[in-house]
Amino acid sequence: MEAEMIGGILDAVKGCLKEEMRMDIVSSNLANASVVGFKKDRISFQELLGKARMTGSEPADPALIRIESDHAQGDSKLTGNSLDFAIHGKGFFKIETPDGIRYSRRGSFTLDGQGTLITQEGYRVLGQGGPVIINGSNISVDGLGTVTVDGVQAGQIELADFENYDVLAKTGNGLFRQASPDAQEIPAPAETRIDQGYLELSNVNIVNEMVTMIHSLRAFESYQKTIQTIDGLNQKAVNEVSRLK
């Protein structure tokens, strides 16, 4: 009986921790819903406990919970800015940072004093053979990423992709890094195109996130009530044993 009570409390505590993590992730998704190119996060876990002792969300060992990004395409927004680019299809812009190559879907770019295409944080956008240099005023980029400046071809924006996005990890500012030694960069699919004058919005659905938050909060409260109930029963049993002595 005592072992079952302890097991029930442990399961409920794990459930509380899981829902707490889920609510943190949902809060982050909602906070970044208006950020260009943001990819929402979600949690996944492997069930350890076999048969759950509670109704509703099944508790999971927090050590097995993994946060992963949802790389589904976000909607595109017309901006008319010649230095805004949205990727339609799979793939990432390659960004050169002090910490190495990073990957991004955030195509809100600008130019530095030397005419180099850079991110809002000042990191250089890579093309085939190096940074993309734009010296001119009439800038055109076709669906393949070919850059034409004042009627003269000036390079090509390079897009990279990965067979498995699980090898990528967020580093902030819309950037991803290769987080696995098994990560292997491949060219973006042939059907992927770059749309100039557009930006890809976040893929956060605010209504869905709010629904998830409500469900998670209810599950958290349910786990808390279970802990209180089991603790009360345990205290009652202790009192009964003490009375019989």
Q: Secondary structure of 205-239 in the HEC alphabet?
A: CHHHHHHHHHHHHHHHHHHHHHHHHHHHHHHHHHH
Residues 198 and 79 sit within 8 Å (Cβ to Cβ)? yes
- Number of helices and strands (H, E) in the chain? 2, 19
The residue behind tokens 């992963």 is 68
59 vs 192, which has greater pLDDT? Answer: 192
2 is written with which tokens?
A: 């005592």
Question: CA end-to-end span of the chain, whole Å?
Answer: 19
Better-predicted residue by pLDDT, 27 or 49: 27
Stated as kind and residue range, the H or E segment containing 61 is: none
pLDDT number for residue 71: 96
Nearest partner of 104 among 29, 170, 30, 197, judged by Cα:
170
* Predicted confidence (pLDDT) at residue 74 exceeds the cutoff of 70: yes
Against a cut of 0.85, is the pTM above it? no
Give the mean model confidence (pLDDT) for residues 97-110.
Answer: 97
Report pLDDT for 54. 44
Q: Which pLDDT tens digit goes with each residue over 174-196?
A: 999 999 888 899 999 999 999 99
The first and second tokens of residue 4, run together, are: 């079952």
Distance CA 128, CA 126 (A): 7
Q: Point out the least confidently predicted range of 14-18, 40-44, 205-209, 231-235.
A: 231-235
The residue-averaged pLDDT of 60-83 equals 86
pLDDT at 237: 60
> What does the pLDDT look like over 107-161, one tens digit per residue?
999 999 999 999 999 999 999 989 999 998 899 999 999 999 999 999 999 999 9
Short-list 98, 103, 106, 123, CA closest to 167: 103
Q: Is 144 helix (H, G, I), strand (E, B) or coil?
A: coil
Predicted confidence at residue 226, as pLDDT, reads 82
Out of 28-42, 51-65, 199-213, which region has the weakest mean confidence (pLDDT)?
51-65
- Report the SS3 class of residue 159: strand
Q: Say if residue 243's pLDDT is above 70.
A: no
DSSP, collapsed to helix, strand or coil, labels residue 83 as coil
User: Residue 14 — pLDDT band, cuts 50, 70, 90?
Assistant: confident
What pLDDT score does 67 carry?
A: 86
User: Tell me, what's the pLDDT at 6?
Assistant: 64
Supply the DSSP string of 90-102, one letter for each residue. Answer: S-EEEEEETTEEE
pLDDT at 62: 57
Q: Stretch 38-61: mean pLDDT, rounded? A: 60
Q: Is 36 exposed, middle or buried (0-12, 13-18, 19+ CB in 10 A)?
A: buried
